[in-house]
């Protein structure tokens, strides 16, 4: 099982080493900003290393929205991050499912997702496999509830889109973790990455606050079960720096070894 962590982008390989992580995820630019990623001096080194790499796209990206001033730059930013992610040999580029404005129809959002992949295809396609991640909050989210996820996949499935399952987001978003992999697989047919996180908040709270695996409100055995059932690599996006994340990684490894 390939287990690792979301780490600071400064020196991802050193961060991986500090956590005994076989896989790392990091940002290539400010997650709250609109800047294209700058070329990395260590790109070849990261690409050549044994550590598997995932890149997380900025949070500001929302390709679903009806707001043109967000949607259009979001498409472009996603494309530039996919290009940059390829330079570090990333296995996937994770992007949140996005959300609509209060009075909007979700079906417009799903169609905007479809147009995003159609637009990318016109540019030669995304240079890195895009993984859409489920989210925790909002009444108009495209990938919070799985009924919405199913409609999203109806719109984008033909483009070979990947999926990233976040256990905190599922729990806080109101999707039970019991048998969750089966329910996701019935919709997407694939899980490319697990974000193995605890939650500081209750079921269906709509709050996105990650916790360490053994201290949050999620039974950590359910996280272990999801990783095992998916067979996918897992990344912890948990607090506590190298120490807290190392504990979470060690916990997952020992449980998965049984
Ligand atoms: Zn996540």
Average pLDDT over residues 78-107: 97
> If you measure from the C-alpha of residue 222 to the centroid of ligand 1, how many angstroms do you get, rounded to a whole number?
16
Q: Taking the CA atoms of 39, 45, 51 and 52 in sequence, report the sign of the dihedral they define.
A: positive
pTM greater than 0.85 (yes/no): yes
Taking the domain 32-233, which CATH number applies? 3.20.20.150
Q: Average pLDDT over the chain, rounded to whole?
A: 97
- High-pLDDT (> 90) share of the chain, %: 99
Q: Give residue 43 CA to ligand 1 midpoint distance, Å.
A: 23
pLDDT in tens, 22-40: 999 999 999 999 999 999 9
**Residues 78-99: what's their mean pLDDT?**
98
DSSP for residue 99: B
CA dihedral of 184, 189, 193, 198, whole degrees rounded to 10: 10
> Is 258's pLDDT higher than 90?
no
Tokens of 221: 């055995």
For residue range 124-175, list pLDDT tens digits in order.
Answer: 999 999 999 999 999 999 999 999 999 999 999 999 999 999 999 999 999 9
Predicted confidence (pLDDT) at residue 11 exceeds the cutoff of 90: yes
- The alpha carbon of 231 is separated from its chain's Cα centroid by a whole number of angstroms, namely 16
Per-residue pLDDT band at 85 (split at 50, 70, 90): very high
Q: What is the pLDDT of residue 1?
A: 77
211 CA → ligand 1 middle, Å: 12
The tens digit of pLDDT for each residue in 205-247 reads: 999 999 999 999 999 999 999 999 999 999 999 999 999 999 9
236's enclosing H/E stretch is strand 234-236
| CB-based contact 255:223 (threshold 8 Å) | no
Output the CA 166–ligand 1 centroid distance in Å: 5
Q: In the prediction, which pLDDT does 100 show? A: 97
* CA 74 to ligand 1 center in whole angstroms: 19
Domain layout of the chain by residue ranges: 32-233
**Cα-based distances in Å from 80 to 73, 110, 128:** 10, 22, 10
Residue 151, pLDDT score: 98
d(CA 19, CA 241): 9
Residue 53 C-alpha to ligand 1 middle, in angstroms?
A: 15
CA-to-CA distance for 68 and 78, rounded, in angstroms? 15
Measured in Å, residue 135 CA sits from the centre of ligand 1 at 8
């Amino acid at each position: 099982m390939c287990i690792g962590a979301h780490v600071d982008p400064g020196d991802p390989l050193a961060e991986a080493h500090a956590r005994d992580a076989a896989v790392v995820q990091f940002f290539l630019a400010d997650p709250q900003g609109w800047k294209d990623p700058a070329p990395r001096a260590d790109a070849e080194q990261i690409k050549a290393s044994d550590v598997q790499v995932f890149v997380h796209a900025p949070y500001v990206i929302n390709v679903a929205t009806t707001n043109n001033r967000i949607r259009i730059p979001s498409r472009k930013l996603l494309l530039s991050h996919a290009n940059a992610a390829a330079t570090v040999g990333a296995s996937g580029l994770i992007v949140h499912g996005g959300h609509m404005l209060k009075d909007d129809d979700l079906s417009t959002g799903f169609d905007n997702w479809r147009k995003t992949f159609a637009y990318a295809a016109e540019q030669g396609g995304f240079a890195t496999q895009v993984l859409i991640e489920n989210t925790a909050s909002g009444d108009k989210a495209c990938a919070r509830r799985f009924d919405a996820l199913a409609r999203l996949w109806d719109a984008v499935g033909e483009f070979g889109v990947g999926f990233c399952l976040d256990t905190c987001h599922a729990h806080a978003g109101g999707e039970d973790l019991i048998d969750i992999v089966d329910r996701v697989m019935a919709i997407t047919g694939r899980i490319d990455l697990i974000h193995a996180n605890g939650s500081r908040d209750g079921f269906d709270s709509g709050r996105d606050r990650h916790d360490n695996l053994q201290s949050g409100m999620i039974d950590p055995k359910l996280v272990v079960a999801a990783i095992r059932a998916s067979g996918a690599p897992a990344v912890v996006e948990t607090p506590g720096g190298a120490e807290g994340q190392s504990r979470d990684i060690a916990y997952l490894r020992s449980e998965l070894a049984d």
